[in-house]
A = this chain, B = another copy of it.
Amino acid sequence: SSSTTPIKATLFPGDGIGPEIAESVKQVFTAADVAIDWDEHFVGTEVDPRTNSFLTWESLQSVLKHKVGLKGPMATPIGKGHRSLNLTLRKELNLYANVRPCYSLPGYKTRYDDVDLITIRENTEGEYSGLEHQVVKGVVESIKIITRKASMRVAEYAFLYAKTHGRKKVSAIHKANIMQKTDGLFLQCCDEVARKYPDIEYEKVVIDNCCMMLVKNPALFDVLVMPNLYGDIISDLCAGLVGGLGLTPSCNIGEDGIALAEAVHGSAPDIAGKNLANPTALLLSGVMMLRHLKLNKQAEQIHSAIINTIAEGKYRTADLGGTSTTTDFTKAICDHL
């Protein structure tokens, strides 16, 4: 068993299937001798006035303190007057870049082979400003905000990511032919950062054309960086190419080295508590967290065990066309370690 002092990390199991898939991560990490000491926080049952959401103040403090965490799905409770939990986390913790790798899983067949894309999404502003109002009856406005600050830091992150991960190209995705000022500013920032990385190919692609080309030939792209809503759309599109959000990890990057890895699929209340959930997205997000912590050996071990289990095809959850329970699938991964 591991000899290093355990690293403290926040764990948000989340709602619905969250606790079951979080349990799977704990088991796999333990089996792989990963020394993580989880500081577990649940979504509250009442609005915490200090966060104006069902997230507790203590849970946010936990991430700020440990600077690393893993998050399952959170369903924002229906009702008015409190914010989406996912957005609260992103905004309160200033998680400015959302990194979503999408790669074909060997052995899990879709219409596409060898997809290998990294979507880097600005995560704090844009169409998610929350600024909306009625002008007159029947006329409403939403305001999209783009700032130089947020655009620069996500562009910097994207190029640094490309460089440190041996990636060849960064594509900035935009609709600056229509939104010349907002998307124009975003592109200006990308241009500026690109000049500092002459070894990395750089291109600008209009979002509509990008979606068409992704569907026709995803191999045209490598790292994609873009404003918030385009990132929301394109990361889901890319996930669809390789099988869906049940298979794709993500990690939110904040300032001061904060990283909150996150399964971005839903909480699937219909199958919650039934031992049917697929923990793959949360497991792969956990792997991203381990890589962030430079626990590369264990990250690769766990990654291979997940991939091999899926490729072998003997244990698969229902969403992948199998009949395995969450616990059987988890056990199979542990056996592959």
Closest to A76 in B: B177
Is B185 in contact with A140, judged by CB distance below 8 angstroms? Answer: yes
Which residues of the other chain, B, contact A149 by a CB distance below 8 angstroms?
Answer: 138
Is A207 in contact with B233, judged by CB distance below 8 angstroms? Answer: yes
In the complex the two chains form, what is the Cα distance from A223 to B22 in whole Å?
39
Closest to A245 in B: B212
Using a CB-CB cutoff of 8 Å, which residues 291-318 of chain A contact chain B?
Answer: none
Is B236 in contact with A209, judged by CB distance below 8 angstroms? Answer: yes
In the complex the two chains form, what is the Cα distance from A143 to B245 in whole Å?
31
Is B182 in contact with A211, judged by CB distance below 8 angstroms? Answer: no
Which residues of the other chain, B, contact A143 by a CB distance below 8 angstroms?
Answer: 141-144
Answer yes or no: A134 CB below 8 A from chain B CBs. yes
Which residues of the other chain, B, contact A175 by a CB distance below 8 angstroms?
Answer: 127, 229, 232
Is B142 in contact with A181, judged by CB distance below 8 angstroms? Answer: yes
In the complex the two chains form, what is the Cα distance from A141 to B182 in whole Å?
6
The residue among A87, A229, A243, A245 with the most chain B CB atoms within 10 A of its own CB is: A229
Count A interface residues, CB 8 Å: 56
Closest to A213 in B: B240
Is B212 in contact with A181, judged by CB distance below 8 angstroms? Answer: no
In the complex the two chains form, what is the Cα distance from A198 to B304 in whole Å?
51
Answer yes or no: A239 CB below 8 A from chain B CBs. yes
Q: With A141-B144, A147-B138 as given contacts, are A216 and B233 in contact (CB-CB < 8 Å)? A: no
Is B132 in contact with A139, judged by CB distance below 8 angstroms? Answer: no
Closest to A235 in B: B208
Q: Nearest Cβ in chain B — how far from A114, in angstroms? A: 13
Is A127 in contact with B178, judged by CB distance below 8 angstroms? Answer: yes
Which residues of the other chain, B, contact A135 by a CB distance below 8 angstroms?
Answer: 145
In the complex the two chains form, what is the Cα distance from A95 to B39 in whole Å?
56
Is A177 in contact with B84, judged by CB distance below 8 angstroms? Answer: yes
Is B132 in contact with A180, judged by CB distance below 8 angstroms? Answer: yes
Answer yes or no: A68 CB below 8 A from chain B CBs. no
Answer yes or no: A50 CB below 8 A from chain B CBs. no
Q: Nearest Cβ in chain B — how far from A156, in angstroms? A: 15
The residue among A133, A216, A232, A241 with the most chain B CB atoms within 10 A of its own CB is: A216
In the complex the two chains form, what is the Cα distance from A149 to B214 in whole Å?
34
Closest to A264 in B: B208
Question: What are 29 A-B contacts defined by CB distance under 8 Å?
Answer: A110-B216, A111-B111, A111-B112, A127-B144, A127-B178, A127-B179, A132-B180, A138-B147, A139-B148, A140-B146, A140-B181, A140-B185, A141-B143, A141-B181, A142-B182, A143-B143, A144-B144, A207-B232, A207-B233, A208-B235, A211-B233, A211-B237, A211-B240, A212-B237, A212-B239, A213-B240, A214-B237, A215-B215, A216-B243
Contacts beyond the supplied A142-B182, A178-B229: 6 A-B pairs with Cβ under 8 Å: A139-B148, A142-B143, A143-B144, A212-B236, A215-B215, A216-B240
Q: Measuring CB to CB, which residues of chain A are less than 8 angstroms from any residue of chain B?
A: 84, 87, 110-112, 127-128, 132-135, 137-149, 175, 177-185, 207-209, 211-216, 229, 232-237, 239-241, 243-245
